[in-house]
Amino acid sequence: MAESGLKPAKSYRLMSHEAGGDNVLAHTMKDHFNYITRKKMEEIEGGDAQTVIDRLYQRQENEPGFFYRFKVGGGDNSSKLTEIFWRDSQMREDYSIYGDVVVFDTTYRTNKYNLICAPIVGINNHWLNVMFECAFIADETADTFEWLLQTFKKSMGGTTYFYIYRPRPGNVFPESRHRLCIWHLIKNAVSRFGALKRDTTFKNAFNKCLSGCVTIEEFETCWENMIKTYKLEKNSWFKRLYNLREKWCTTLSKDFFSAGILSSQRSESTNNAVGFKATKNTSLTDFFKIFNQTIKRWRQNESDADFKCSNSHATEVYTQTIFRDFETEFAYSIGCITLLHLEAQGYFFYEVQIENDEASKQKVTYNSADNSVACSCKIFEEVGWLCYHAIRVLHQHSVTRIPEQYITTRWTKFAKTHLWKQRDKQQKQMQEY
């Protein structure tokens, strides 16, 4: 019961109730507390940090794909634990499938040593959290982040293409695209500037600049109007933010895949999930248990979602969660009107919009030779499924199935089996060679 999160007093009352009263139970409340304390002392004998490291070592012995690293240090020449990192073999496999987008944030401290919890998280084909690693670090210096990301990279044997987090990727992942968390930007902007805290019109204008603009021209106009309206021309924070606009403005980041994630919300939800029973007095040993319980629950949720998909006739390819998003786009496409501007050598150039909604207008190009379609809203490039503008044009040309090139494997039911088939094929080729 203690491992499930019940406090000693509650677990004692539960046992007393089941037994028929305190007088029937074979031990007292004091005995109950002493027993739990003794069990905890047995677990941390030889040092709490050493206990966790011993458990990680045992996991590695029993699970060849398990990976962990740690660092010790301290200004007084002590052997104090300063960083610890681990991931299991399932995390390695999940990363190989869903590692195109990762979320990394370090906002959470819940343990008796005040170490910073620094998980790296992704999303799977059901739009559920999936853990890639967990780490504790002593500080948020550049050297510490470099150690953590280098260790992560080494553990995965690969590269990452896209980040959303507050620390910068630095030289560890130079090929990655770094984004700032929109949630943090909103929080900082509103909390910094006196009267603007209570001005809802400022919040609306700022939110519009962050994620409400469709074109670059619209963004520039909205930003200029906001700066002039609220007299922010000389504000250094907003000047710096504008210079970093490609890291946070959604209008300027539609040319690469981000799975539609706009903030580090997934990382924050991870922190809450991992720490739901943790307190400032939580030991590393206890946290290690909490973390493993959380991962077990997440993986059970994924298995349940896989089972529901396998027993559903609603979709042929996508998982149910992603199909609902695609279904929304399809529903919008029904209400769209198209205007053909030009046809030349099998290429068709359209303007597509929802009827009576000028703001929804986008330019769509269709190639009849291979059923390829491209839309100026770049939803497919950013999220990985077709927008309603493109769907409407495909329907206009009697294309009744989604062309293969627009089915992103990571969003399908077969995301994992696709990886397994690739591995089997590679192993077979190596054996033949």
The predicted-structure confidence for 36-54, as pLDDT tens digits, reads as follows: 766 665 544 446 778 888 8
Q: Which residues contact 352 (CB under 8 A, 6 or more apart)?
A: 336, 337, 338, 339, 361, 362, 363, 364, 375, 389, 392, 393
pLDDT at position 243: 94
pLDDT digits over 138-177, tens only? Answer: 888 888 888 998 999 999 886 555 555 555 655 677 777 7
The more confident residue out of 241 and 176 is 241
Mean pLDDT within 262-284:
63
- Would the pLDDT of 77 be above 60? no
Question: In the predicted model, is pLDDT for residue 278 greater than 50?
Answer: yes
Contacts of 371 (CB under 8 A, 6+ apart): 394, 397, 399, 403
**Per-residue pLDDT for 57 more than 70?**
yes
> How high is the pLDDT of residue 350?
97
Residue 168: exposure state from Cβ atoms within 10 A (0-12, 13-18, ≥19): middle
pLDDT at 74 over 80: no
Q: What is the CA radius of gyration of the chain?
A: 26
pTM of the shown model? 0.74
Nearest 5°: the CA angle 346, 349, 397 is 60
Higher pLDDT, 307 or 387: 387
Query: What one-character-per-residue DSSP string does 195-254 give?
Result: GGGG-HHHHHHHHIIIII-SSHHHHHHHHHHHHHHTT-TT-HHHHHHHHTGGGT-GGG-T
Reported confidence tier of residue 320, pLDDT bands at 50, 70, 90 = confident
pLDDT at residue 393 is higher than 90: yes
Pick the residue with more confidence: 124 or 277?
124
Over residues 102-127, mean pLDDT: 77
pLDDT, tens digit, 9 for 90 and up, residues 341-388: 999 999 999 999 998 888 899 999 999 999 999 999 999 998 899 999
Token output for 361 = 């207008």
Q: Where are the domains of the chain?
A: 8-43, 48-180+259-304, 183-243, 320-411
Q: Report the pLDDT averaged over residues 410-425.
A: 80
Is the Cα torsion angle 140, 142, 144, 147 positive or negative in sign?
positive
Q: Which residues contact 105 (CB under 8 A, 6 or more apart)?
A: 118, 165, 166, 181, 264, 267, 268, 271
Sheet of strand 347-354: strand arrangement: 336-344, 347-354, 362-367, 372-375
Confidence check: pLDDT of 223 > 90: yes
pLDDT band (50, 70, 90) for residue 245: very high
Residue 431 has pLDDT above 80, yes or no: no
Higher pLDDT, 173 or 128: 128
The one-character DSSP state at 338 is E
pLDDT at 313 over 50: no
